[in-house]
Chains A and B, each alone.
Chain A
Amino acid sequence: MSELIDKALKRPNLAVEIAGIKLRNPVMPASGTFGYGEEYAPFLDLEKIGAIVTKGLSLKPKAGNPTPRIAETTSGMLNAIGLQNVGIDAFVQHKMPFLRTVNTPVIANFFGNTLEEYGEVAKRLNDIPEIAAVELNISCPNVKQGGIVFGTDPKAASEVVTLVRKYLQKPLIVKLTPNVTDITVVARAVEEAGADAIACINTLTGMSVDIHTRKPRIANCTGGLSGPAIRPVAVRMVHQVVQTVSVPVIGIGGIVTPMDALEFLIVGARAIQVGTANFVDPTAMLTIIDGIEQFCIDEGIDDIHQLIGSLKF
């Protein structure tokens, strides 16, 4: 009897490893929805989440797109921020000092305008010791050179990953766009080029019109759709990528509740990222972590790896 109680009380192991970095649990924010970490520090303990993922960084500061940049749609939102960011120098000077005080791995998301720039940023990030891993964005739909050209063409994707790999000793996560006919082709290409892990998905290109003004609701005309509306598409794509590659996959897209996160884990995501849900509830990630743990307890699972990829056909 007491053994049963013991077992019931024992907390399941939620720790996972992605590309050589150890995460206390598989839950982290999605790039661009969590600032540089500091913005959300008043609302949740950053040492409870698996990792911190920064806003996409570039070599030079980037001003971003004209406004309006966001619009809510049914169970989702469109955004065309245009990768506004402080640039790598200001990041090191103003954002890293705070991140250094937090005992949680930092994953730096980045992008370039040209192939050379991707290489240059990779070199710079490689020199920052406190950065645990980098996430290469070849998938932003909102800027002309924001990576999507690299992300939709398997040859270009392979080229940029090969180049970045040359400059980078740190673990390399490559983030893929869903705006392709077959995501597995690009996934295979970046794995072969040296990606240590794959994150998917970025936003789906969408559009919404104000019927009174008959103008697009965001200035950029089209924007990236995120939030619960995209989740079934994301689950399907994560499933396909998991079936295709052997490197770990990080599942992203419309995760709001613990149940949503579990879907991704069951299809085989080693970790998950929470994006738009942070805006809805700044403590969403904590609720998701607690919910995953409770689910494991309820299901008699003592290690999360028993859950990952446990999809039954």
Chain B
Amino acid sequence: MLMRHSLIRESKQIMKNYRTKIISNQEISPGYFRMKVLAPGFGENAHPGQFVMFRVQRSLPPLLRRPFGIFRTGFLPADCDGLPPVEFVEIVYKVVGSGTSIMAELHQGDRVELLGPLGNGFDCTSRQGEKILVGGGIGLVPLYMLAGELIENGCSVRLLMGGRSRDDIFAVTEFERLGVETYISTDDGTLGEEGLVTQVLERKLQKYPAAEVYSCGPMAMLNAVHNICLEHNTPLQVSLEESMACGVGACLGCVVKGAGHTEEKPSYLCSCKVGPVFKSQYLDWSALAQNNSDCGGCA
């Protein structure tokens, strides 16, 4: 609790429950969907790395809302004169279970609810320098807004995109349009370099030793990224995906162990409130890696 103040950056937190409608919901790659949802006023309060709690349907089940990173926010062009442009928030999701399967069946005009923007996103106040973004699969989602903001700040941004196969790589041209240099690697070599994204990171850090790293993806990847950054003495921010019930700091179900956690002096950080983005030095990585080996292999 003591660390909380130093961890949360000052930002106006304006969160809302949007009872709203789907603008579009399209499959962009096998198992991956992009969904645009009407959300007036959302964009001005949203920071890179924040998330929403999405209510899949009015009826139960599934009972709890599902957390999703904000891919981007924007305005649809007005389709006839005189009408104001409509603001949307866009998420990208992978179908992994009951909730996301229902989402995949939703159509334009269907009613949904989302709570947001939530959590503490990336610290991207830095005005210059080399930034390396490392995204694995669905972990690419929060990096899009981040890349946009870093580039606007005058940073040079390299994005290392990793996945099991080509199906896990999306939005490449959109990232490139922002002015990001992209490097793709896949485990099976079906797109880009064959191998792990962390190999690419090793090479880039040799070339740009002063870079800062931002990462989101499966825990095994984050853990490897953390170890590499530790070795190179590179500052790292990671976005975690803990199971959540409330998303607003009320249930204390989403905590992760903080650095220096012991049985006698426990430190649990609320990942929906203090996170989902953490500076890596504040986390207990041995505990995170341990929890990962407990997980059924979520990506």
Binding site for B on A (CB under 8 A): 32-35, 39-40, 42-43, 55, 61, 63-64, 67-72, 74-77, 79, 81, 84, 86, 90, 210, 212-213, 215, 227-228, 256, 276, 278-283
Residues of chain A within 8 A (CB-CB) of B244 are 70
Binds A, one of B75-83, B208-216, B218-226, B246-254: B246-254
Residues of chain A within 8 A (CB-CB) of B250 are 33-35, 39-40, 278-279
Q: Quick one: given A42-B16, A213-B294, are A81 and B248 in contact (CB under 8 Å)?
A: no
Chain A nearest Cβ from B252, distance in angstroms: 5
Cross-chain pairs A/B with CB under 8 angstroms, 12 sampled: A35-B248, A39-B249, A43-B115, A63-B266, A67-B256, A68-B242, A70-B251, A72-B62, A72-B64, A81-B252, A84-B268, A276-B245
The answer to whether A79 and B245 have CB atoms under 8 Å apart is yes
Chain B, interface SS category: loop
Residues of chain A within 8 A (CB-CB) of B296 are 210, 212-213
The answer to whether A35 and B61 have CB atoms under 8 Å apart is no
Chain A nearest Cβ from B254, distance in angstroms: 8
Q: Across the interface, name the chain B residue whose C-beta is closest to A29.
A: B250
Residues of chain B within 8 A (CB-CB) of A39 are 246, 248-250
Q: Across the interface, name the chain A residue whose C-beta is closest to B266.
A: A63
Cα–Cα, bound, A63→B254 (Å): 13
The answer to whether B251 and A79 have CB atoms under 8 Å apart is yes
Residues of chain B within 8 A (CB-CB) of A279 are 64-65, 245-247, 250-251
Residues of chain A within 8 A (CB-CB) of B249 are 35, 39
Among candidates A43, A79, A281, residue contacting B253 with C-beta atoms closer than 8 Å: A79
Cα–Cα, bound, A89→B224 (Å): 40
Among candidates A32, A43, A63, A215, residue contacting B17 with C-beta atoms closer than 8 Å: A43
Residues of chain B within 8 A (CB-CB) of A281 are 17, 55, 113
The answer to whether A75 and B115 have CB atoms under 8 Å apart is no
Q: Quick one: given A67-B255, A280-B55, A281-B113, are A86 and B1 in contact (CB under 8 Å)?
A: yes
The answer to whether B248 and A70 have CB atoms under 8 Å apart is no
Q: Quick one: given A34-B250, A70-B253, A282-B115, are A228 and B16 in contact (CB under 8 Å)?
A: no
Question: Does B15 belong to the interface (CB within 8 Å)?
Answer: yes
Residues of chain B within 8 A (CB-CB) of A282 are 17, 115, 248
Q: Quick one: given A63-B268, A74-B61, A281-B113, are A69 and B253 in contact (CB under 8 Å)?
A: yes
Chain A nearest Cβ from B238, distance in angstroms: 16
Residues of chain B within 8 A (CB-CB) of A81 are 251-253
User: Quick one: CB contact mask for B8-42 with A, threshold 8 Å, 1 for yes?
Assistant: 00000111110000000000000000000000000
Interface centre among B55, B61, B63, B243 (most CB of A within 10 A): B63
Q: Quick one: given A90-B1, A215-B294, are A72 and B15 in contact (CB under 8 Å)?
A: no
User: Quick one: CB contact mask for B259-270 with A, threshold 8 Å, 1 for yes?
Assistant: 000000011100
- Contacts between the two chains (Cβ within 8 Å), count: 110
Cα–Cα, bound, A102→B244 (Å): 28
Chain A, interface SS category: loop
Among candidates A42, A84, A283, residue contacting B15 with C-beta atoms closer than 8 Å: A42
* Known A256-B60, A282-B248; further 10 A-B contacts with Cβ < 8 A: A33-B251, A39-B250, A43-B17, A63-B266, A71-B243, A75-B61, A84-B268, A276-B63, A279-B64, A280-B63
Cα–Cα, bound, A283→B254 (Å): 21
Cα–Cα, bound, A281→B247 (Å): 11
Question: Does B291 belong to the interface (CB within 8 Å)?
Answer: yes
Cα–Cα, bound, A256→B55 (Å): 14
Chain B nearest Cβ from A146, distance in angstroms: 14
Cα–Cα, bound, A75→B59 (Å): 11
Q: Across the interface, name the chain A residue whose C-beta is closest to B264.
A: A63
The answer to whether A76 and B291 have CB atoms under 8 Å apart is no
Interface centre among A40, A61, A279 (most CB of B within 10 A): A279
Q: Quick one: given A228-B63, A282-B248, are A68 and B268 in contact (CB under 8 Å)?
A: no
Cα–Cα, bound, A43→B53 (Å): 13
Residues of chain A within 8 A (CB-CB) of B251 are 32-33, 70, 79, 81, 279
The answer to whether B291 and A64 have CB atoms under 8 Å apart is no
Q: Across the interface, name the chain A residue whose C-beta is closest to B58.
A: A281
Interface residues of B in 117-157 (CB under 8 A from A): none
